[in-house]
């Protein structure tokens, strides 16, 4: 095995482990049932989005796969802003109901 292949395998393992740990703690550190449910749905969405994006990067031919970065660069920041706003509303609702 060459060093590039070993590095690639180790990088993938570390990346998936980091994503799994981040997902676990994002869900664990929620304060209420609505917030937890929202974080679970959001985590599933982002894991599916990441798998589809990476699969398309591996499957598409060279000039076309670079065009994937355009929607990725637009969808990711917008979805993060939306999720943060929604999460703050959920936190506010849950703190008022307690």
- Round to the nearest angstrom and report the end-to-end CA distance of the chain: 58
Q: How confident is the model at residue 95 (pLDDT cuts 50, 70, 90)?
A: confident
Please state the pTM of the whole predicted model. 0.84
- Indicate whether 37 pLDDT > 80: yes
Query: Residue 50: its pLDDT value, please?
Result: 92
DSSP 32: S
Q: What digits encode the pLDDT tens for the residues 12-31?
A: 999 999 999 999 999 999 98
Task: Extract the tokens encoding 67.
Answer: 């065009």
Query: Residue 1: its pLDDT value, please?
Result: 72
Look over the chain and give the mean of its residue pLDDT values, rounded to a whole number.
93
Per the CB < 8 A criterion, the answer to whether 15 and 67 are in contact is no
Per the CB < 8 A criterion, the answer to whether 30 and 36 are in contact is yes
């Amino acid at each position: 095995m060459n060093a590039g292949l070993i590095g690639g395998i180790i990088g993938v393992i570390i990346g998936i482990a980091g994503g799994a740990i981040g997902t676990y703690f994002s869900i664990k550190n929620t304060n209420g049932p609505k917030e937890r449910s929202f974080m679970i749905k959001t985590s599933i969405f982002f894991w599916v989005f990441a798998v589809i994006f990476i699969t398309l990067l591996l499957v598409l031919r060279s000039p076309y796969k670079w065009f994937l970065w355009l929607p990725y660069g637009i969808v990711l920041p917008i979805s993060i802003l939306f999720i943060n706003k929604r999460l703050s509303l959920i936190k506010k609702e849950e703190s008022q109901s307690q």
